[in-house]
Amino acid sequence: MDTFMNLAMSAAGQFTGQEEQAPPSHQFNEDEVVETAQRHSGGSADSGMFSAALSHVTSHSSQHREPVDEGEVRDSHRQAYAEGGAGGLSAGSMGGAAAMQILQKVTSGGGGGSQTELISMAMAEAGKLFDQSGGASSGSKQDAINGAAMTVMKLVVQSKLGGGGGGMGGLMSLATKFI
């Protein structure tokens, strides 16, 4: 199985064009993110949960520079998706697993073409995973959605700070540090 950062590297190749030339800003249009997440969620969460997750990510900006624990995310993803044991994960770990699932989907051509799509799809996936697993070992659905949003935000911010040229293509620069 590809490592989390290898997936991030592959996802970087999916994000080209105008997004590549964007200045190093990690601001999202909240309405667009919430609407996109709602569309991908299949009703697993309401717009208030997605909006709250974005508020959480914004209000905890000091965490954006904390490294993503690749091993934990990879193990959580395996437990959730390969072993069907998502219910044994904390809500935050479930969110990280959902983010990795979306990176796999994006790298295999399953949609997503912007930072907005990536964070929206990850939040929606976390809500669906929480419901499908009957909950988490600790934490709420909101915590799972927050975890997915924060994992994506860390990747976005760190890819830009790492001098990878800005935009989602900077994920490749960040990913190479973990290989």
Does the pLDDT value for residue 8 go beyond 70?
no
Q: What is the pLDDT of residue 11?
A: 55
pLDDT, tens digit, 9 for 90 and up, residues 89-101: 999 999 999 998 9
In angstroms, how far apart are the furthest CA atoms of the chain?
42
pLDDT, tens digit, 9 for 90 and up, residues 22-48: 334 456 788 999 999 999 998 888 899
Beta bridge partners of 90: 138
Per-domain boundaries in the chain: 4-12+27-176
3-state secondary structure 27-47: CCCHHHHHHHHHHHHCCCCCH
Does the pLDDT value for residue 135 go beyond 50?
yes
3-state secondary structure 117-161: HHHHHHHHHHHHHHHHCCCCCECCHHHHHHHHHHHHHHHHHHHHH
CA–CA distance, 55 with 13 (Å, rounded to integer): 29
User: What average pLDDT does the chain have?
Assistant: 79
Rounded to two decimals, what is the model's pTM?
Answer: 0.77
Residue 4 — pLDDT band, cuts 50, 70, 90? low
pLDDT, tens digit, 9 for 90 and up, residues 66-82: 988 888 999 999 999 99
| Tokens linked to 167 | 């935009």
Among 14-23, 24-33, 110-119, 134-143, the least confident range: 14-23
CA–CA distance, 118 with 121 (Å, rounded to integer): 5
